[in-house]
Amino acid sequence: MEALYFNVSDGYLEGIVRGYKSAILNTTHYLNLTQCETLDDLKLQLSATDYGNFLANEPSPIAASTIHEKATQKLVDEFKYVRNNAMAPLSQFLDYLTYAYMIDNVILLITGTLHERDTNELLERCHPLGVFDTMPALCVATNVTELYETVMVETPLAPYFQKISVNDIDELNIEIIRNTLYKAYLEDFYDYCKRIGGVTGELMSEILEFEADRRTINITINSFDTELSRDDRAKLFPNLGKLYPEGHMKLARADCLDHVKAVVEVWVEYRPFFDTTLNSFGGAATSEAKTLDDRFFEYEVHLNKLTFQQQFHYAIFYAFLKLKEQEIRNILWIAECISQGQKEKINNYIAIF
Amino acid sequence: MPYSSLFRSEEMSLIQLYIPQETAQPTVAELGELGLIQFRDLNPDVNAFQRAFVKEIRRFDEMERHLRFFDAQLTKSDIPVRPLTGDIRNIHARSAQEIDDLEEKIIEHERRITQMNDSYETLQKQYLKLTEMKFVLQETRVFFDEATSRQDNIRNSFDEPTAPLLEQQDLEHGSESLVLHHLNLGFVTGVISRAKMQTFERILWRALRGNLYLKYVEIDEPITDPETDEVLEKNVFIIFAHGKELINKITKISESLGATLYPVDSDPNVRDNNSTEITSQIEARNSVLQNTYNVRRTELLKIAEDLNIWMTIIKKEKAIYHTMNLFNYDSGRKCLIAEGWCPSNDFDKINQALRNATDQSGSTVPSILNELRTTKEPPTFIRVNKFTVGFQEIVDAYGVAKYREVNPGLFTIITFPFLFAVMFGDFGHGMLVTAAALYLVIREKKFEKGISDEIFATFFSGRYIILLMGLFSIYTGLIYNDCFSLPLRFFPSGFQWHGNQTDAQQIGVYPIGIDPAWHGSDNFLIFTNSYKMKMSIILGVIQMSFGIVLTVYNYTYFKKRLSIWAEFIPQMLFMQCIFGYLVFTIILKWSINWNERDNNGELVHSAPPGLLNMLIYMFLQPGVVAEEDKLYPGQGFVQGTLLFIALICVPWMLLTKPFIMRRDHKKIRSQGYHNPQMDTTRVSTDEDNEYGGAVVAEEMFEVEEFDFGEIMIHQCIHTIEFCLGCISNTASYLRLWALSLAHAQLSSVLWDMTLKPTLGMSGVLGTIAFIIAFTLWFSLTVFILLLMEGLSAFLHALRLHWVEFNNKFYEGTGRKFQPFSFKLILKDDDH
């Protein structure tokens, strides 16, 4: 039935997003990009793609960061166009997508304040999708309660903040805050997608479960040899995903990479992550060893690509954002490789189509 | 070779140019001015940034960026750019030196402008700060005054929840002037943009738990932000709070939210001093600002003079190098090899241009042009002028003609406005349309220069179409005898009617069109409907038959003898046996006087038979016609025969061609020819064929494998489409009648509802009513009848051409000739 009514309010935007999706660079484009000798070549090459002349008014020589900034700006513009034209419940869904960026920005600001960086400089580095009105005031707060009461209470992140158990802001606690927020966010978003149900629920839970599992694994690996106790570690795992709950119990006890590997290998989908000999998920087969992160990204791209196989659902909006983000990461990687003369590493991007 | 007409596209040749490297740039420039060659890309495998002249292009890109920067600066300062005057042909760079000079000049200008902008911006920032400071001082005075007078209230708000009453009373005895110090009340003053005010207030309230007293006032003057040039609305605020900690916090919050803080002294005397000081400073800055502004403006004015010329030069240069990127080098890298299509008639012009370029650059080595033989399909080039271009566009929108195919554009010039007019036929409306189009045509020189409105540009580009549509509408309006739905009585009517009779007496024939006596008669609609319906069928059948005839021209030109008698003849027979016969009976029925009586006063003929039924029964009961339905003797036999012929035509169309093709193919096979390998016809006058000229190789000519099944399916579809198409297309022409009816009825309703009632009135009231009704009638006539109805008739005429007419003969699979021409490039960039 949802197929019947979907187009009434969201058909136009789905069309738009599918159009945006077809503008995502493909392997041929990447092949051309990697052949560039200078960033000006890259600019020329990008102007032949859907990016068009987004760099036309930038004086050469151009910096990799400028390319990144402009490309992000383009993505943000596209996303904002979709968001501004969206109706409920799609608008709510799209808002959920921005919460992740808000969390990142909040963490960035409080970390920066902790290290006494200049506020304006920090604000410039914030992701434009996660900007909210009261954000600059974050740097005033010195502890979590204050943070919550001064700023966060009126943001959509407020319920997530209530779940934070620590109060002082220091290096370790910031990580805890970040992960608690993210955990709360993922659980909330997951519930929300389940409530939407249908194809959206199906596809989004798949993606979010993977996201949760990835975080779980990352938290485990990153908490080796830190002050974080095992119980505290377990508290940071998002309560969803394929690893939940058995995997979580085992991962909470793990204390070296081999343990993690042994735990995760039980799940067939995740086995290749730790298998250094395999090249799966259709990524560009390079001889160089891939980092775990790369493999995660590859799998994420794979999942996101799958969403485009179905129609009348919201997951493509999520997928589009993530794929485009990956693309910008790729372009940045290639640009950095070119500007730093590291041509041998240039192929370590994650091809999308 | 004769110049091509609209009937077929121009003959094209593939040419190869050898251009010595040192004269390459001027030569290409000359060819760009000429605009007759469509260059082919000779290195399609080479990446955009690996081509030979990327460096030059990048240089021009950079210069263009500077120019765009100038343009932005000019728009910002409201300085108009001087438009181009004279021939754009004359604007071009003559030498490399000139380009270098230009680049230097542009960079110098840019440096100066940026410098001036920077200083201007700094000055403006200072100015901004001072103005804000001024406002802060001005407004805070009010706050302070209020604060001093209302200190009790302030204090109350601080102490209310806990303070015992007694203490409060005690405090009230304290010295009033010292209240601020007494309470240890600090304050922060500053300016913040109005949009952020609410957030600011909210955060402060929460951060300080309400322990503050905030006052703000809106600055009436909008303040321009020097960096973004946006006009911002700002507020001055002053916050009183208790204790150093809180003040620090407020400062921090304000700064992080983008407020600018200005310290204000709590002593009113110091404040007054500051205020006067700042006012004088502002005045000083103002004059400096004005000076800088003027200098900058003069500089920009200088740029505005030349900007368009520079832009044109750079665009041309860029286009030249883009084109040169398509070329190939010869083995010694001494000359460039270019390949492209050009009209065979224009060899002389191209040779002349090449010679000019060589002469001008003073080179001794001439460029060489030679023609290549090729099997590739050339692009379609149809020479149009300002009159024919509109009509050709109508055809091109459907599909560009295949090379040398019969071009329907020629016939469209007449048939399109005519079919439009059949639907739009009204003398008055036609007059209005013609007048409007004539105005556009007569003033076209003036309009051509600058049309910004897109809709108007559309009308303007179709002005000759509209003109013809208007003229034809006048003609059909005369035939229909309609002028704003009223009859025209140019001649005395052919009917005489005495008031008390039901029938009118015919006394003559009206010389042109429908007799005005018909208007207003009871059977007017019945008469015109029948007339227009039959006319639509006749026009349709004639146009479609004409389309079928045109296939013969294609078949003979492309040497497809077989198709003439395996496709054209059966198609024609099929069409004529059914619908040609229908047209014949329509005319026959018109030409019989059904009221003719013999000597005894008896009717000679029986009641006129319905033609629709006749056509239906021709299929249902072949060979039999009821006696009372007969139009002429022997009708049954004739109809039976025609139907038989039509039926024969179907298998004829379907089977002959595929089977004959198979027979021929088998014959060739049995003679031992297998998969004929066409040689690659590598043509090059270059002696060393290893590289150089050889690189300019022709692609292999793909020979299609003979596949009988595919041909059969194709033919089957074609046949079915034709046979069903004949019927549905004929019916489709009835839209001529339907739209014509709608138009006539709509205009008569409009007349009856608005203008007609007021004509009878007299006196002042009548005049007023008439004026109102006339405006109403006229505007509705223009907007509904002319624009909307006209658009609808236009679209239907378009459809009749695209679908009913074109599908009889037109393939439209060609690609348009797109020559390298500065004129086109500059025009494209303008939009």
Alpha helices for B229-267 (secondary structure H): 244-256
- The confidence score (pLDDT) of residue B695 equals 40
Arithmetic mean of pLDDT, A151-159: 85
Contact B225, B157 (CB under 8 A): no
Contact check, Cβ <8 Å, A45/B65:
no
Q: Does B55 touch chain A (CB under 8 A)?
A: no
- The confidence score (pLDDT) of residue B684 equals 42
| Residue in B65, B196, B258 closest to A56 by CB | B65
Contact check, Cβ <8 Å, A151/B203:
yes
- The confidence score (pLDDT) of residue B184 equals 62
Contact B309, B91 (CB under 8 A): yes
| Residue in A32, A60, A137 closest to B257 by CB | A137
Radius of gyration of chain B (CA): 42
Contact B715, B657 (CB under 8 A): yes
| Residue in B48, B202, B256 closest to A44 by CB | B48
* Percent of chain A residues topping a pLDDT of 70: 95
Q: Does B47 touch chain A (CB under 8 A)?
A: yes
Q: Is the pLDDT of residue A282 over 70?
A: no
Contact check, Cβ <8 Å, B58/A44:
yes
**Which chain B residues are Cβ-neighbours of A119 within 8 angstroms?**
255-256
Mutation to test the B interface, candidates A37, A134, A145, most B Cβ within 10 Å:
A134
For chain B, the domains span 12-113+294-372, 132-290
Arithmetic mean of pLDDT, A153-168: 83
Q: Which of B546, B635, B624, B626 is nearest to B588 (CA)?
A: B635
Helices (H) then strands (E): counts for chain A = 16, 0
The tokens describing B5, both together, are 């007409």
Alpha helices for B671-788 (secondary structure H): 708-732, 735-750, 756-759, 763-780
Contact check, Cβ <8 Å, B49/A44:
yes
In chain B, whose CA is at the least distance from the CA of A43? B49
- The confidence score (pLDDT) of residue B297 equals 87
Q: How far apart are CA B9 and CA B12, in angstroms?
A: 9
Q: Which of B309, B366, B393 is nearest to B826 (CA)?
A: B309
Q: A267: how many CB neighbours lie within 10 A of its CB?
A: 15
Q: How far apart are CA B403 and CA B814, in angstroms?
A: 6
ipTM of the complex: 0.77
Mutation to test the B interface, candidates A51, A133, A138, most B Cβ within 10 Å:
A133
pTM for this prediction? 0.72
Contact check, Cβ <8 Å, B258/A60:
no
Residue whose tokens read 């009704």: B773
Burial degree of B79 (CB within 10 A; 0-12, 13-18, 19+): middle
The tokens describing A309, both together, are 């196989």
Contact check, Cβ <8 Å, A150/B58:
no
Burial degree of A35 (CB within 10 A; 0-12, 13-18, 19+): middle
Arithmetic mean of pLDDT, A152-164: 85
Q: B820: how many CB neighbours lie within 10 A of its CB?
A: 22
Q: Does A53 touch chain B (CB under 8 A)?
A: no
- The confidence score (pLDDT) of residue A287 equals 44
| Residue in A140, A149, A154 closest to B256 by CB | A140
- The confidence score (pLDDT) of residue B799 equals 95
Tell which wins on pLDDT, B501 or A324: A324
Q: Which residues of chain B have pLDDT under 50?
A: 154-181, 678-702
User: CA A228 → CA A75, A173, A231, A236, A250, distances in Å?
Assistant: 37, 10, 8, 10, 16
The tokens describing A100, both together, are 């992740």
In chain B, whose CA is at the least distance from the CA of A38? B49
Average pLDDT score over chain A: 85
- The confidence score (pLDDT) of residue A18 equals 93
Q: How far apart are CA B309 and CA B86, in angstroms?
A: 11
* CATH architecture, domain defined by B132-290: 2-Layer Sandwich (3.30)
Give the angle B342-B343-B348 at the CA atoms, nearest 5°. 90
- The confidence score (pLDDT) of residue B166 equals 45
Cα torsion through B1, B6, B7, B13, rounded to 10: 40
- The confidence score (pLDDT) of residue B3 equals 64
Over residues A1-10, the pLDDT tens digits come to 677 888 888 8
Interface of A with B in 213-272 (CB under 8 A): none
CA distance to partner chain A, nearest, from residue B182 (Å): 28
Q: Which of B256, B259, B144 is nearest to B197 (CA)?
A: B259
- The confidence score (pLDDT) of residue B480 equals 92
- The confidence score (pLDDT) of residue B700 equals 45
Over residues B628-646, the pLDDT tens digits come to 888 888 899 999 999 999 9
Could you tell me which residues come within 8 angstroms of residue B439 by beta carbon, excluding any fewer than 6 positions away?
Answer: none
CA distance to partner chain A, nearest, from residue B134 (Å): 26
Q: Does B243 touch chain A (CB under 8 A)?
A: no
Q: How far apart are CA B788 and CA B797, in angstroms?
A: 14
Q: Does A69 touch chain B (CB under 8 A)?
A: no
